[in-house]
Structure 1
Amino acid sequence: MVKMVSYVHTNSYEVLYPTTKSTKNIWICFHGLGYLSRYFKKYFKDLDPETNAVIVLQAPSKFYLDKKFKHVGASWLTRVDTVQEMDNNLHYIDEVIKNEKLVGDPRLILMGYSQGVSIATRFLKHYAQPIKALIMHSGSIPDELNEQDGKLFKAMADRIIHIVGTQDEYLTEERIEKEQQKIDLLFGEKCEFHRPTIKHEVDVELIISISKTLS
């Protein structure tokens, strides 16, 4: 017999650059599988702190990455209890945005990398308020998102940006076709494509370049 309880859970997040009077872009960043926010934030350190605020969220489930139990990473969710775990994630993200007094702020940029893409897109569906941009970098769009969700995304996000490296080692022909079908269904012609010659890694230079077009 499986039972469930609710309890208070505390989780951290990193503020690389705080929001100021000169801030034009507020990045809410979702790291990939195996990262920690304290290390993922390095990819955004070269953004202009005068115009970019950067908040890096922390996935809740931590685990050891190696057999020596030295390096630690984290995961947002797995195929087990996915709906419940995502609900927990949504509560966490809501609280971060409330704590930073950013609810309803149109300067928000949701940036998801790898596993973080599934969290960023699900959060935007939940959040359902105008944002400056949704940036999906080297990750899969959740299967459950449908055409109606796409209408919401196109109405809420001023810009929708999709990034994937042409040498990404996790890509297969089947996966490429499936992702393209999902992109077409959800975002249509509004989606901006970037296809850098990289493997499965964060394209820092591209992120910096995009940031300059968002200001």
Structure 2
Amino acid sequence: MEHHLTVSRTARYQQLGTLSARTRRVWFACHGYGQLAAYFVRHFAFLAEADPATVIIAPEGLSRFYLTGNGGRVGASWMTRDDRLHEIADHINFLNQLSAKVLANCSANVQVTVLGFSQGTATICRWLAQAAFRPAQLILWAGSFPDDLAPDIAQRLLQHLPLTLVVGTEDEYISPSQAATVRQQLQLLGATPRLLTFPGKHELNRTVLEELAQLTTPTHK
């Protein structure tokens, strides 16, 4: 008979920029399947370098593994189908603790952007449905909205929430037409998402990130 035991473990995340009362923008960026936060966060470095009041936080999935065979490059995952509900609960707990720690160092007016890439999109949506804060914008990049969130919970999360879907025109995992279907599904849940495309594959794009960074305007100096 299978049993479960809740234990304490060490989670890892990357941070670019210094948190303080002067921090005006915080980005939580969750990587995709098989990636590591240390490499993923580099795509956002230009945002923190351009604005000292911007801080980037990149959590890393709790499950790490060798990408090929039993050695070489390592990647991380947010969950698999095996024991998925406990994996989801563990990651929500991790992200809630991390966001509480981060936001405790900021003013109450800090603007929070939450971005998920690929597998990370479902993770951030499940997390935000239980989070203690509401982001200024939500970005689902090359991924979809989880269909296991109850409709009333999804509607409460998505109502009046600035939401952007992003996909490359040559993405090998999700096509622009599939992203358009995701957009329609979100509209049925009461969201008003916009869909951005760019010439590229299953990857981040600096030009689009720059555009998205302009969408949050601080409410204080």
**Fold shared, TM-score > 0.5 on shorter chain:** yes
- Give the alignment partner of residue 166 of structure 1, picking from 162, 165, 169: 169
Cα–Cα, structure 1 residues 19 and 162, in superposed 2: closer, same or farther, change >3 Å? same
Deviation at 1:67, TM superposition (A): 3.3
Matched residue type, 1:120 = I
Distance 1:82 1:156 in 2: 30
Deviation at 1:9, TM superposition (A): 1.1
Q: Which runs of 5+ in 1 are unaligned?
A: none
Pick which of 106-115 and 138-147 moved more.
138-147
RMSD: 2.3
SS at match of 2:214: helix
Aligned twin of 1:9 = 9
Cα–Cα, structure 1 residues 106 and 208, in superposed 2: closer, same or farther, change >3 Å? same
Deviation at 1:151, TM superposition (A): 2.6
Distance 2:13 2:77 in 1: 14
Deviation at 1:160, TM superposition (A): 1.0
Number of equivalent positions: 213
TM-score, structure 2 as length reference: 0.86
Distance 1:100 1:180 in 2: 31
Deviation at 1:147, TM superposition (A): 3.5
Aligned twin of 1:126 = 130
Q: Is the 8 A contact 1:31 1:113 kept in 2?
A: yes
- 1:37-186, aligned counterparts within 5 Å? 37-47=37-47, 48-67=50-69, 69-102=71-104, 107-127=111-131, 129-155=133-159, 157=161, 159-171=162-174, 175-176=178-179, 178-186=181-189
Distance 2:167 2:62 in 1: 25
Q: Which runs of 5+ in 2 are unaligned?
A: none
Q: Is the 8 A contact 1:149 1:186 kept in 2?
A: no
1:190-212 deviations in Å (ceiling 9; x for gaps): 21221112111111221122102
Aligned twin of 1:214 = 216
- 1:23-42, aligned counterparts within 5 Å? 23-42=23-42
Deviation at 1:145, TM superposition (A): 2.6
1:67-98 deviations in Å (ceiling 9; x for gaps): 37111000000111111100000111111122
Cα–Cα, structure 1 residues 21 and 34, in superposed 2: closer, same or farther, change >3 Å? same
Pick which of 121-130 and 77-86 moved more.
121-130
Cα–Cα, structure 1 residues 128 and 193, in superposed 2: closer, same or farther, change >3 Å? farther
- Percent of pairs identical after alignment? 25
Distance 2:70 2:154 in 1: 44
Cα–Cα, structure 1 residues 196 and 146, in superposed 2: closer, same or farther, change >3 Å? farther
TM-score, structure 1 as length reference: 0.89
Distance 1:175 1:213 in 2: 25
Aligned twin of 1:205 = 207
Distance 1:161 1:174 in 2: 15
Pick which of 29-38 and 11-20 moved more.
11-20
